[in-house]
């Protein structure tokens, strides 16, 4: 499930990725501007993914490791992106940056239910 979701993200398949989310999906990420630290619902996440694609059109992420038990999975990944559009109050900087993340989603056999992202490097770069 998680590998399929990440493959869809890497392939820019926002429709396919969104279809993998539970209707009541919740994303938590303290690295985001205040209004985006919690995204609730499949439709809201779809909207965010579309805007994120415009802001970071060259986004790439690779999994370093993936572990799971029951409905919980964790992975560590490295990503790269260039901020080509605005992100909340932050205007396009055209800065390319690398980040490392740890994600802890919860899953059912059919849907990704929730995810928590640690993206501290992102906060440092945006200032």
Domain-wise residue ranges, the chain: 2-126
Model-level pTM?
Answer: 0.76
Q: What is the pLDDT of residue 119?
A: 54
CB within 8 A of 127, min separation 6: which ones? Answer: none
pLDDT in tens, 23-82: 888 888 877 778 878 899 999 999 989 988 888 888 888 888 888 887 777 888 888 889
Judge residue 15's burial from the number of C-beta atoms within 10 Å of its C-beta, 0-12 exposed, 13-18 middle, 19 or more buried.
Answer: exposed
Give the tokens for residue 40. 């609730």
- pLDDT, residue 40, reads 92
Domain 2-126: CATH architecture, name and number where available: Roll (3.10)
DSSP assignment of 106-126 = EE-SS-EEEEEEE-HHHHHHH
DSSP helix/strand/coil, 46: helix
Instruction: Give the C-alpha separation, 107 to 92, whole Å.
Output: 34
């Amino acid at each position: 499930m998680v590998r399929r979701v990440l493959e869809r993200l890497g392939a820019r398949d926002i429709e396919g990725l969104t279809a993998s989310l539970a209707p009541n999906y919740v994303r938590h990420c303290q690295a985001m501007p205040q209004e985006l630290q919690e995204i609730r619902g499949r439709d809201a996440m779809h909207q965010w993914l579309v805007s994120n694609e415009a802001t970071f059109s060259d986004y790439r992420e690779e999994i370093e490791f993936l572990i799971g038990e029951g409905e919980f999975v964790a992975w560590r990944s490295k990503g790269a992106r260039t901020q080509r559009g605005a992100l909340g109050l932050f205007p396009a900087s055209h800065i390319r940056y690398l980040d490392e993340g740890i994600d802890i989603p919860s899953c059912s056999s059919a849907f990704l239910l929730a995810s928590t992202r640690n993206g501290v490097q992102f906060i440092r770069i945006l200032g």
